Amino acid sequence: MYTDDEIRQKQQLARAAGLSGAELLDDIEAIRRDCNGIGAEWMPDRWRDRLGERYPELVVVADIHDRRYALGGGILARWRADWEFLRNGLKMAHHCRRIGLAWATVRMWLLLRIGGAAAFNYHKKGKN
């Protein structure tokens, strides 16, 4: 679980990097409930921890994506959430001036497109 200070830092970084969906980080309780760092909830903690240590700048990108997945929707909402992850990851790579971050983002995005459906909160429009 994130501390208040960590959440404030994530909010500042997301806005400084110009990430779309940064406003989703304003709901502190939702951040604590929905966000778990980089990787799926089913992944071993050590894997997620290792990814977060290797690519700390992408954790905030993953947090926005986690919030989108928790909000759910139809297939189009998932498609948009995954593309937003890719765009935000590339923005963060540019913001940090790390080309390796861009390549990591593309690899993670491919994995999202392949296996992300299991984690997405699917529901029809108008139903919860």
Give the per-residue pLDDT at 52. Answer: 93
Contact 50, 123 (CB under 8 A): no
Give the per-residue pLDDT at 46. Answer: 92
Contact 116, 78 (CB under 8 A): yes
pLDDT of 126 above 60: no
pLDDT for 30-45, tens place per residue?
999 999 899 888 888 8
Give the per-residue pLDDT at 45. Answer: 87
Domain ranges of the chain: 4-118
Length of the chain: 128
- CA distance linking residue 101 with residue 52, whole number of Å: 12
Question: What average pLDDT score do residues 72-76 get?
Answer: 93
Contacts 24+ apart (CB under 8 A), 87-94: 87/20, 88/17, 88/19, 88/20, 88/21, 88/61, 88/64, 89/58, 89/61, 91/17, 91/18, 91/19, 92/17, 92/19, 92/57, 92/58, 92/60, 92/61, 93/57
Question: What average pLDDT score do residues 73-87 get?
Answer: 95
Task: Provide φ and ψ at 2, rounded to 5°.
Answer: -85, 145
